[in-house]
């Protein structure tokens, strides 16, 4: 008889899951806490696996999907109600088409955006287990220990001490408030990604285009003690400015302004608002409105900067609404008719 065919019983020692933790990470910790010979025994006891189970799944960016029978067995093993487990384990919200419905079954699958939990937090747990968490479900940093946890930065230590850069910690709090305000985390993250793309481009040309920002980022790089600077920026280096721009890109009034103004000349106030939020001189707004000159085969040509590209794409989405509105008004005269409401696209 296989382990998943045997009756499930509550294990002697309970283990509390970490918010955003992978199910594999949690089950392995539960098995180790209860002195099981192999952690894969408990994983296999949840249900019949669709592929072979090894301990290396924990280090290979894998998680596991359960069907309803396996979820009930997990609830029994842990002694924790499934509703509480779902609040911490994101994979319990998903299933897989390959799973049967008549027997307990599990499906390990490759996932992305995983990272290790804060080293300082893990050191407080007996045995110092390795804990893997889903990045979208877990904060960028551990505020208790002031550690940046986001992966994917070459030449930067996996977890960066932010003690000397409190502006990054404040920016993370603002990002949390923004997500709570919009209530659409996926859409907010899309705007955050757009902002990263724009601000990273600013950093690469900041030496000549924006000396104040260049000096700010250089000082921050020294405080972070990383190899990244304005010429070779990382998302961490420009994080406060990225959040400031994300807040603007998520502002419904400014999104409507960008989408509905009649001409590019009317975009001046938008550029000035960005300049004010970043604490830059008014000349920075003029630079944002101008194309960039690049050298191409010994010839200079102009290209739109990333912010202008975002504006073009956003205005294109609402071209029909904008055209209908302005067709009803003579552009040579001022009008008090408010812009129509537009959806967040």
Residues 218 and 282 in one domain: no
Whether residue 344 is contained in a domain is answered as no
Residues 35 and 104 in one domain: yes
Domain that includes residue 282, residue range: 252-327
pLDDT of residue 143: 83
Instruction: Indicate the number of domains in the chain.
Output: 3
Final residue of a structural domain among 205, 221, 249: 249
Residues 224 and 264 in one domain: no
**Cα 225 to Cα 161: distance, rounded to the nearest angstrom:** 9
Residues whose CB falls within 8 Å of the CB of residue 234, separated by 6 or more in sequence, listed in order: 153, 156, 226, 228
Whether residue 34 is contained in a domain is answered as yes
Whether residue 190 is contained in a domain is answered as yes
Whether residue 129 is contained in a domain is answered as no
Total Cβ atoms within 10 A of residue 17 = 23
Residues 210 and 304 in one domain: no
**Span 290-314, pLDDT tens digits:** 876 555 555 656 677 899 999 999 9
Whether residue 333 is contained in a domain is answered as no
Final residue of a structural domain among 249, 278, 293: 249
Residues 60 and 158 in one domain: no
Segments in the chain below pLDDT 70: 54-59, 136-139, 151-157, 292-302, 330-345
Residues 37 and 113 in one domain: yes
Final residue of a structural domain among 122, 153, 168: 122
Q: Please provide the DSSP assignment of 21-80 as one string.
A: B-HHHHHHHHHHHTT-S-HHHHHHHHSEESS---GGGGGTTEEEEE-HHHHHHHHHHHTS
Residues 46 and 154 in one domain: no
Q: Are 100 and 31 in contact (CB under 8 A)?
A: no
Whether residue 199 is contained in a domain is answered as yes
Q: Give pTM, 2 decimals.
A: 0.76
Burial level of 96, CB count in 10 A (0-12/13-18/19+)?
A: middle
Residues 73 and 21 in one domain: yes
Q: Are 236 and 150 in contact (CB under 8 A)?
A: yes
- H helix or E strand, kind and range, residue 172: helix 166-182
Whether residue 231 is contained in a domain is answered as yes
Residues 239 and 266 in one domain: no
pLDDT of residue 152: 47
Residues 291 and 260 in one domain: yes
pLDDT of residue 154: 46
Residues 216 and 268 in one domain: no
Whether residue 127 is contained in a domain is answered as no
Residues 180 and 213 in one domain: yes
**Cα 144 to Cα 126: distance, rounded to the nearest angstrom:** 19
DSSP 341: P
């Amino acid at each position: 008889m296989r382990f998943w065919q045997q009756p499930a019983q509550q294990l002697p020692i309970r283990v509390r899951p970490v918010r955003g933790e992978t199910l594999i990470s949690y089950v392995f910790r539960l098995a180790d806490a209860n002195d099981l010979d192999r952690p894969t025994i408990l994983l296999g006891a949840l249900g019949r696996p669709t592929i072979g189970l090894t301990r290396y799944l924990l280090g290979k960016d894998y998680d596991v999907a359960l069907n309803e029978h396996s979820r009930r067995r997990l609830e029994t093993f842990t002694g924790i109600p499934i509703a509480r487990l779902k609040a911490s384990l994101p994979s319990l919200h998903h299933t897989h088409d390959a799973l049967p419905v008549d027997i307990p079954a599990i499906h390990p699958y490759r996932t992305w955006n995983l990272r290790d939990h804060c080293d300082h937090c893990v050191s407080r747990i007996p045995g110092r287990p390795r804990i893997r968490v889903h990045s979208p479900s877990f904060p960028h940093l551990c505020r208790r220990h002031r550690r940046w946890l986001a992966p994917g930065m070459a030449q930067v230590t996996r977890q960066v001490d932010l003690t000397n850069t409190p502006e990054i910690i404040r920016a993370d709090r603002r990002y949390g408030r923004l997500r709570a305000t919009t209530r659409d985390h996926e859409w907010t993250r899309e705007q955050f990604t757009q902002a990263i793309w724009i601000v990273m481009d600013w950093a690469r040309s900041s030496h000549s285009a924006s000396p104040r920002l260049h000096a700010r980022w250089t000082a921050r790089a020294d405080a972070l003690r990383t190899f990244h600077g304005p010429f070779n920026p990382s998302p961490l280096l420009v994080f406060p400015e990225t959040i400031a721009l994300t807040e603007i890109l998520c502002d419904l009034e400014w999104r409507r302004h960008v989408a509905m103004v009649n001409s590019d000349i009317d975009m001046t106030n938008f550029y000035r608002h960005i300049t004010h939020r970043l604490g830059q001189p008014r000349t920075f707004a003029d630079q944002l409105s101008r194309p960039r000159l690049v050298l191409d085969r010994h010839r200079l040509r102009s290209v739109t900067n990333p912010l202008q590209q975002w504006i073009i794409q956003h205005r294109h989405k609402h071209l029909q609404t904008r055209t209908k509105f302005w067709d009803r008004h003579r552009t040579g005269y001022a009008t008090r008719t408010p812009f129509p409401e537009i959806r967040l696209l």
